[in-house]
Structure 1
Amino acid sequence: MTSAPGRRSSIFTRLLRHGFTDPSAAERLLDSAGLAPVRNDPVLLDALGQAADPDLALLGLVRLLEAQDGATARQELLDTLIAAKPLRDRLLGVLGASAALAEHLARHPKDWQALVTYEPRDLHRGVEEFERGLAGADDPVSLRVAYRRCLLSIAARDVCGTIEVAETAAELADLATATLRAALALAQAAAPEDAALCRLAVIAMGKCGGHELNYVSDVDVIFVGEAAGGADEDKALRAATRLASHMMRICSETTVEGSIWPVDANLRPEGRNGPLVRTLASHLAYYQRWAKTWEFQALLKARPVAGDPALGEEYVAALQPLVWQAAERENFVADVQKMRRRVVENIPAAEIDRQLKLGPGGLRDVEFAVQLLQLVHGRSDASLRSGTTLDALKALAAGGYVGRADAAQLDDAYRFLRSLEHRIQLYRLRRTHLVPEDENDLRRLGRSLGLRTEPVTTLTREWKRHASVVRRLHEKLFYRPLLDAVAALAPGEARLSAEAARERMVALGYADPAAALRHLEALASGVTRKAAIQRTLLPVLLGWFADSADPDAGLLNFRKVSDALGKTPWYLRLLRDEGAAAENLARVLSAGRLAPDLLMRAPEAVALLGDGDGGGLTPRSRSSLEQEVLAAVRRADNAVQGVTAARGVRRRELFRTCAADIVGSYGTESQPAEADQGALVDLVGGAVSDLTAATLAGTLRAVVREGWGDTLPTRFAIIGMGRFGGHELGYGSDADVLFVHEPREGVDEREASQAANKVVSEMRRLLQIPSADPPLLIDADLRPEGKSGPLVRTLTSYEAYYRRWSLVWERHALLRAEHVAGDEDLGRRFTELIDPLRYPADGLGEEAVREIRRLKARMESERLPRGADPKLHAKLGPGGLSDVEWTVQLLQLRHGAGEPGLRTTRTREALAAARAAGLISEEDAGILDEAWVLATRVRNAVMLVRGRAGDTFPTVPRELAAVGRYLGYGPGHAGDMLDAYRRTARRARGVVEELFYGGL
């Protein structure tokens, strides 16, 4: 019968509004005989419109009605649908999400009645209820039908939201358990003589064992057999093998009703090559001697599900201890990580972007990260020993092993991805983990997940978002450096008892184990989350502290930092999660006094040790430092506050440089020590020099702003000299400078001079105000006439002086002059003024060379401290800094006019240019460079270790050992370090004797 045009139009419009994609076909179905109740009832049409695929739901309903036995049965179904909303939602929800279950209902038209019950006890079914649902199935075909009927009830409540994804997965695992028991019972009934000979236990593995099964999945099992009633063991095992094989066939074989699912026993010892059934003793022997890392990872989810329950429990009890010892295996963490990478590498290229399970950002990323953390930390924390991914993740978060926010994001992403996987498989009840490409499929999936507005676009966006979150957190957790260190701890060390801790303190070299234990107690006692995270960190940190010359200081400093930052939400999370932050902190806190002292005054600088937005340990450029300092000065109310703010930036950035130097020198377990020690020297020299320049620029701005507002009456520039101008400052170096000014147009020279002198005086005063920060001393003694000359001169005055009065030492000193702060144009003109002096066109006469030699000899005799061993004095001793620098600078004075490469303020650059120009042999240049780098590192090491500057090795044994550790010498090798220094310096002195005092 054909509807009238008006009615047709009305139904067509309603179908479109209800989400039908083919309303014409739907209208034709509704015009069929017997569908008038559906067509005319708005409740049923609304319910169809709520289905994931209304067209599919309507087609399934029509087929189900047609399959009913007569008109009475059809009317009963329709009446029940109209009257009972729970049934209506369940049945139409299934029909709109699963073509396979619609097919089952068409073949078994009475099974819809399994969806009628709607009681609280019906919401979360367990194994016993599923066993009742399978009762009466006396052959594989009827078992398959009963299984599908039970599956129908799970799917119905799933698509309606009565149960959420974790409960769905658990019910699917419980249904699998009931099915395995039923299949084994059929096999035993078929061979009672075999059943009498043996005890057989079925152990679920994988997702079934973890209570997180898919709709369509292999069910992984392991079989354990024993002889029963004194039977011969060989006969018993053969009988058990026949029973196990028969059980597997019942589940796996295809019948007229299809198959249930494959039972996969390939996780057993030796895989497919091993016997299907083994005794418990045989299993235990295999895992103790031959098992690979992945096999213990698989055992995480093992649980007995069928057969002899006592034997199953014995199996788990015997094997579980081995699971929690697996992390102690050599290369355990690396093996698990390698296995995950291999899985990804084996995904076909055409599928990798659609792989929901195995691909990057997929379900396996979550599972592997969780399992690795469980295996590492679960040895000593039984709360982590769950076979269910989400339960284990929750326990990891509760124990502080994973951040709460990270755990919440992973939980959310995993639930979404599992829901999507369930809906994909539910459609055809086929085993697949690929997100479909067809738009209709995507639309159905999106709607089934509640994404009703632009379901295709929204689904794709949400899937990619969750995958991105999973990938990021997988990388963060799965490749966390701390895992290797925790896994390497001996059994029991992951949680320290008092006695074990004391013994460990002594063994690790702690000089005061009683004090160390007090620190441990203060840090890790209690039941707070903070204490739990500390208990995870401390066993590893103790080992890293011990890899220093002063473990006691490292632990004490860690306690101080933890006390200062313990209430901040990010501190312990940073150490647990962010790259090598924990190891970096351990190295920094135990390497000496300077870096910890800086950190104690600004504990928040710990953030620099991670991999986040703090910029890590890479020193910042001079321009960015200057911008920050000037901005801080601008915000300050007065000059004192401005300089205080500038000092705060200096303190933090000095810590960054110290930390980079220490970590580069010590290395980490994931990153060996820097091979090129010269690179570390350049890093420190450049960073400290840039920081000093930025601090002076800020101080200058603060003084000018307070005294004159925006514009000083005279242009003003600061010229760096010595190591400052050479970008070679050490941690304890003074800032050698010259001050130059030039009156602005229309300004009286006397007024300009008074302003310039006031600026210099005020800068020096502000920088000398007592504070806990490392001092920054301005030294202007290299100015014309030295201490007797004016502190600041005009450019014209400098020109007149240098033209008429300059001495050889002043020309020598100007080799390292470089503009560092203030007026750039004035600074440039100053350097242009002095270039002819420091790079004389006619070189140096013999008298000038003799004068330089006399000056160097006098400096060494007058400045070398009384009682110091000259051979170990890094600055003035033979082969030390002075020797190398004066040799290089003499080359610059003599040849700089003709060799552009020599026109640099940097020692190593000038040395390399001299070698390139043929002025020094490659061998000699290498000897001088090695000596200069080593002497510079010795001075840096002394400052880092003692917290104050020094030019010679410490005499206190612990301090000397700390300098040795910084230079790469292990415990007990301080003598080797001193011998190596003397040897390097002696070779350099030989080159200096030849070049500086000989044939230059």
Structure 2
Amino acid sequence: MTVPQGRRSSTFTRLLRHGFTDPSAAERLLGAPELSAVRTDPVLLDALGAAADPDLALLGLVRLVEGQPDDTGRRELLDTLVSAKPLRDRLLGVLGASEALADHLARHPRDWRALVTYELADLHPGVEEFERGLADATDPVSLRVSYRRCLLAIAARDVCGTTDVAEAAAELADLATATLRAALAMAEAAAPDDAARCRLAVIAMGKCGGHELNYVSDVDVIFVGEPAEGTGGTDAADEGKAIQAATRLASHMMRICSETTVEGTIWPVDANLRPEGRNGPLVRTLSSHLAYYQRWAKTWEFQALLKARPVAGDLALGEEYVSTLAPLVWHAAERDNFVPDVQKMRRRVVENIPAGEVDRELKLGPGGLRDVEFAVQLLQLVHGRGDTSIRSGSTLAALEALAAGGYVGRVDAVQLDDAYRFLRSLEHRIQLFKMRRTHLIPEDDADLRRIGRSLGMRTEPITELNRAWKRHTSVVRRLHEKLFYRPLLDAVAQLAPVETRLSTDAARERLVALGYHDPAAALRHLEALASGVTRKAAIQRTLLPVLLGWFADSADPDAGLLNFRKVSDALGKTPWYLRLLRDEGAAAENLARVLSAGRLAPDLLLRAPEAVALLGDQRGLDPRDHAHLEQEVLAAVGRADGAEKAVTAARGVRRRELFRTTAADIIGSYGTEESPAAEDPGALLDRVGSAVSDLTAATIAGTLRAVVREGWGDTLPVRFSVIGMGRFGGHELSYGSDADVLFVHEPREGVGDHEAAKAAAQVVSEMRRLLQLPSSDPPLLIDADLRPEGKSGPLVRTLASYEAYYRRWSLVWESQALLRAEPVAGDAELGRAFIDLIDPLRYPAEGLGEDAVREIRRLKARMEAERMPRGADPTLHTKLGRGGLSDVEWTVQLMQLSHGWVEPGLRTTRTREALAAACAAELIPTEDAAILDEAWVLAARVRNAVMLVRGRAGDTFPSDGRELAAVGRYLGYDPGHVGDMLDDYRRVTRRARAVMEERFYGA
């Protein structure tokens, strides 16, 4: 019958909408007589559309229906398919994901009934259930059929999400166990005399031993044989005969599983992990195994034994084998060159991948499954010596235990778990299609589409799959590099006299390998922190392995360890300190990052050690707003006795809050295990600038209050306001910036001008004196040189005096300087009046004339020529150098002066905000604005980094190599990439200079 075109188009469209890639072929298949009873059922079409490959699922269904032996079987299948959703989802899910299992169902059309059951036992079958599923197998051919039938049920649960990837892998391992037992039983039935002569244990290794098998994989085994009990003497001849008999049974069992028959193969049984590999005897006695591992085994062989598990044959002998060798496994980490051997083996695996496949290699390539497994196994072998809870043969279970024990950060563990599950799911879906052993990501779009859809990616399956794959491999690569060296840390930290103690020389070598420049001093610090039997020492021994790793991740591990000892000496007897570090996941890492990032933050902390508590509070590092800061400072000043003590109290608040800001900056720049990615540099910089500016404003407000209270009591005879200028007014202070200010006053009613001016001058003089008193805190210098007439003019003026000066004498550079003016302390109403006064100067009506523009350009050129320090590299000077802060700021300020009168967004004291407003107003192209913004952020962060690292301000990169590396680490560069940092800085600022020359000079 010919289908009308209209109907055909409608069906065609529906099929496309349901994910069919060949709707024409699908229409023909749906028109098959065998599907006449269900072809119009919308439930069936929806279920097909939910399959990974609807075309493949439909083709498999037609083949299965056609293969039914009679009409009764066909009706039963179709009726069940339509009425039973669990069967429909399972059957079509398998048919849409696996061409190989569809072939099996076509050959054995009754096996679809294996998918009908939906009981609890069916959801999580174990070895016994699989043994029952294989019970009817009497020869290798029927064993393969039964095996595939069981595999069909596993795959159905897997693709439908009834089981997760770990459960599916465990079921596959249990099915392999049942299959090995069935094959061994066949071998024993074929040679009963051999079976009676020996005891044979089959030990599963690798993924089968670890309960994490793939759909298609070699099953790695080791055989252990002994003479059967009651077979006579135990001399060499009897033992030899028993081993020969066991070898024949083992060989026969391997052939039953491995050989290809008319029903294909199951999987190869691989015994090459045995002592001496292929050159060694297939079966050994337990004593022979023990002798080999005691004398000859290589490091990788102990690593392989992590997953050893008895699965078939004489299970008692198998358990004895595992328990006998376990002590050797858990002391393997003490072998010479243990860690280098493991690392070398991993590198060798990667090097042996063909060059054309390395980027597609899911298992062995960088960021692949092996990276997770090797990292986990290495951690197990080191830490498992004294902690039996982490000795699981399963990668995911071991990872969970390592996280629970504190050997891996919780966030690292979650990320590795997620990545490993994704990569294993991807591997399963790849193998499931044709039941072939492969670990390569396909290149064909149809394969990628099917795999992506099978993993729940339906919108853009290929794009989503590639994106997820790259994201997870990137996470694995990063964490593998981080964790693969973690075992060294434990060996160094465990310096108490225990069985696994390293010699001093070995510990020193490992500290040097971690990047410690003074290992002798590091050892002394470790001994002081961790020796003894006190609770404090016990907690320190738990913390130190992880802390040492975080210190080693910095540019100066020695400083980090020394600072940690100082803080611990100061707070070690405080009950909350070590508990905070032990129990609060972020606190210990935050502390380690802060202590090893330079001088400023540790110096602040060591003067106020109780500030460690900020590092354990989830919100503890959030900057406090200006109102709360000023309120706390004023309260502290109010409680103090005398102005100097009041300012000391204000400085105490400033010290703590400055530590809060530096700590948040460092942690945000480094990233942590709980927040692995570093924060956006621009956002970090804005937060620092606002926090330091608010803190400076609160400190000045507190100092002003102290001066007024000391000299005049509650009421000053003048209204007094402090105006922030420059970076201070722009909320852009760096850690080492001076505070540029103007002072303005107005006499109160009834107070003469002379008396008011005298009082205002006294306030300014005393404020400056108090803020300059010697202190170990970072200095807070107030600079009033931007006032009218500069250094030769009065420090404080009235509004009328400012108005008269600006009306008569003001130069264009002063209008430019006033762009950043903003009230920061004192009389708020007077501050607003000052802003009203200066707005016409900084946002002149009709903008700047040509003469004013030329004057600004002349001033900028003169500054470039005269103010650059002698000998400074102009390509690396952050303030005055090429493309640095000055270049960007003058470019932005010229736009503000020229267009601020008409563009409200430009009327801001903040550089980045003004640049964004200029871009929005189309005064500068988006690309040019982005170039300027990037350069300004980078230059400002370098200045902050220099202060953090050296403890003193600077406008150029440090010349000391270790300090330069620390600046690089703050900016996100890995160790050894200082050259890249300098190259990047020159590149970014060179581009900014080109934009500046065009936009500012009109070049």
Q: Does 1:765 align with 2:777?
A: no
Tell me if the contact between 2:361 and 2:368 (Cα under 8 Å) persists in the aligned partners. yes
1:109/1:192 Cα in 2 relative to 1: closer, same or farther (>3 Å)? same
Distance 1:57 1:547 in 2: 60
Which residue matches 1:861?
none
1:367/1:175 Cα in 2 relative to 1: closer, same or farther (>3 Å)? same
Distance 1:252 1:52 in 2: 30
Tell me if the contact between 1:565 and 1:603 (Cα under 8 Å) persists in the aligned partners. no
1:321/1:584 Cα in 2 relative to 1: closer, same or farther (>3 Å)? farther
Deviation at 1:311, TM superposition (A): 0.8
Which residue matches 2:181?
181
1:448/1:741 Cα in 2 relative to 1: closer, same or farther (>3 Å)? closer
Deviation at 1:293, TM superposition (A): 2.1
Tell me if the contact between 2:571 and 2:577 (Cα under 8 Å) persists in the aligned partners. no
Deviation at 1:27, TM superposition (A): 0.9
Which residue matches 2:679?
none
Tell me if the contact between 2:53 and 2:97 (Cα under 8 Å) persists in the aligned partners. yes
Deviation at 1:41, TM superposition (A): 2.6
Distance 1:101 1:64 in 2: 11
Deviation at 1:487, TM superposition (A): 7.7
Deviation at 1:127, TM superposition (A): 0.9
Distance 2:871 2:652 in 1: 29
Q: Does 1:332 align with 2:311?
A: no
- List runs of 5+ in structure 1 lacking aligned partners: 496-506, 525-531, 608-612, 615-627, 659-691, 716-728, 730-736, 779-792, 798-821, 826-899, 906-943, 945-1000
Which residue type is aligned with residue 63 of structure 1?
Answer: R
Deviation at 1:440, TM superposition (A): 1.7
Tell me if the contact between 1:639 and 1:702 (Cα under 8 Å) persists in the aligned partners. yes
Distance 1:240 1:427 in 2: 37
1:169-206 deviations in whole A, cap 9, x for unaligned?
Answer: 11100010011111122222223333233221111011
Which residue type is aligned with residue 164 of structure 1?
Answer: D
1:232/1:411 Cα in 2 relative to 1: closer, same or farther (>3 Å)? same
Tell me if the contact between 2:567 and 2:609 (Cα under 8 Å) persists in the aligned partners. no
Which residue matches 2:721?
709
Aligned match for 2:421, one of 395, 409, 415 = 415
Which residue matches 1:234?
240
Aligned match for 1:437, one of 433, 443, 453 = 443
Distance 1:636 1:556 in 2: 33
Distance 2:428 2:464 in 1: 18
1:648/1:469 Cα in 2 relative to 1: closer, same or farther (>3 Å)? farther
Which residue matches 1:129?
129
Which residue type is aligned with residue 358 of structure 2?
Answer: I
Which residue matches 1:192?
192
Which residue type is aligned with residue 415 of structure 2?
Answer: Q
Which residue matches 1:600?
609
Aligned match for 2:304, one of 298, 303, 309 = 298
Distance 1:135 1:233 in 2: 33
Which residue type is aligned with residue 61 of structure 1?
Answer: L
> Which secondary structure does the structure 1 equivalent of 2:307 belong to?
coil
Deviation at 1:698, TM superposition (A): 10
Aligned match for 2:325, one of 304, 319, 327 = 319
Distance 2:655 2:422 in 1: 47
Q: Does 1:278 align with 2:253?
A: no
Which residue matches 1:925?
none
Deviation at 1:560, TM superposition (A): 5.0
TM-score (structure 1 length as normaliser): 0.60
Which residue type is aligned with residue 419 of structure 2?
Answer: A
Which residue matches 1:395?
401
Deviation at 1:131, TM superposition (A): 1.3
Q: Map of 1:549-948 to 2, 5 A cutoff?
A: 556-557=569-570, 559=572, 563-564=576-577, 566-567=579-580, 573=586, 575=588, 597-603=606-612, 636=630, 708-710=720-722, 759-766=764-771, 768=773
Tell me if the contact between 2:90 and 2:156 (Cα under 8 Å) persists in the aligned partners. yes
Which residue matches 1:498?
none
Q: Map of 1:376-387 to 2, 5 A cutoff?
A: 376-387=382-393
Deviation at 1:743, TM superposition (A): 14
1:546/1:444 Cα in 2 relative to 1: closer, same or farther (>3 Å)? closer
Which residue matches 1:520?
536
1:375/1:301 Cα in 2 relative to 1: closer, same or farther (>3 Å)? same
Q: Map of 1:535-550 to 2, 5 A cutoff?
A: none
> Which secondary structure does the structure 2 equivalent of 1:90 belong to?
helix
Which residue matches 1:451?
457
> Which secondary structure does the structure 2 equivalent of 1:602 belong to?
helix
1:562/1:375 Cα in 2 relative to 1: closer, same or farther (>3 Å)? farther
Worse-matched range after superposition: 270-279 or 419-428:
270-279
Deviation at 1:326, TM superposition (A): 1.9
Which residue type is aligned with residue 536 of structure 2?
Answer: L
1:112/1:486 Cα in 2 relative to 1: closer, same or farther (>3 Å)? farther
Distance 1:583 1:329 in 2: 33
1:387-445 deviations in whole A, cap 9, x for unaligned?
Answer: 11221222222223333333233222222222221111101111112222222212211
Distance 1:7 1:693 in 2: 72
Which residue matches 1:461?
467
> Which secondary structure does the structure 2 equivalent of 1:38 belong to?
coil
Which residue type is aligned with residue 470 of structure 2?
Answer: K
1:546/1:325 Cα in 2 relative to 1: closer, same or farther (>3 Å)? farther
How many aligned positions are there?
Answer: 710
Deviation at 1:318, TM superposition (A): 0.6
Aligned match for 1:477, one of 474, 477, 483 = 483
Tell me if the contact between 1:225 and 1:240 (Cα under 8 Å) persists in the aligned partners. yes
Tell me if the contact between 1:482 and 1:580 (Cα under 8 Å) persists in the aligned partners. no
> Which secondary structure does the structure 2 equivalent of 1:257 belong to?
coil
1:518/1:776 Cα in 2 relative to 1: closer, same or farther (>3 Å)? farther
Which residue matches 2:265?
259
Distance 2:3 2:780 in 1: 99
1:563/1:115 Cα in 2 relative to 1: closer, same or farther (>3 Å)? same
Which residue matches 1:67?
67
1:902/1:97 Cα in 2 relative to 1: closer, same or farther (>3 Å)? closer
Which residue matches 1:361?
367
Q: Map of 1:65-144 to 2, 5 A cutoff?
A: 65-144=65-144
Distance 2:53 2:693 in 1: 69
Distance 2:437 2:307 in 1: 21
RMSD after superposition: 5.6
Which residue matches 1:8?
8
Tell me if the contact between 1:699 and 1:763 (Cα under 8 Å) persists in the aligned partners. no
1:694/1:234 Cα in 2 relative to 1: closer, same or farther (>3 Å)? same
Distance 1:107 1:550 in 2: 72
Worse-matched range after superposition: 15-24 or 79-88:
79-88
Which residue type is aligned with residue 559 of structure 1?
Answer: G
> Which secondary structure does the structure 1 equivalent of 2:37 belong to?
helix
Deviation at 1:219, TM superposition (A): 0.7
1:91-144 deviations in whole A, cap 9, x for unaligned?
Answer: 111111100001111112222222222222211111111112112322222211
> Which secondary structure does the structure 2 equivalent of 1:434 belong to?
coil
TM-score (structure 2 length as normaliser): 0.60
Distance 2:530 2:151 in 1: 63
Tell me if the contact between 2:359 and 2:365 (Cα under 8 Å) persists in the aligned partners. yes
**Percent of pairs identical after alignment?**
64
Distance 2:525 2:581 in 1: 31
1:345/1:557 Cα in 2 relative to 1: closer, same or farther (>3 Å)? farther
Tell me if the contact between 2:361 and 2:440 (Cα under 8 Å) persists in the aligned partners. yes
Which residue type is aligned with residue 709 of structure 1?
Answer: S
Q: Does 1:373 align with 2:385?
A: no
- List runs of 5+ in structure 2 lacking aligned partners: 502-522, 552-556, 638-646, 664-691, 709-718, 727-735, 746-752, 782-788, 794-813, 818-866, 873-950, 952-1003
1:26-48 deviations in whole A, cap 9, x for unaligned?
Answer: 11122222221131333322222
Distance 1:341 1:6 in 2: 62
Larger Rg: 1
Distance 1:308 1:491 in 2: 41
1:448/1:599 Cα in 2 relative to 1: closer, same or farther (>3 Å)? same
Tell me if the contact between 1:53 and 1:444 (Cα under 8 Å) persists in the aligned partners. yes
> Which secondary structure does the structure 2 equivalent of 1:34 belong to?
helix
Deviation at 1:315, TM superposition (A): 0.4
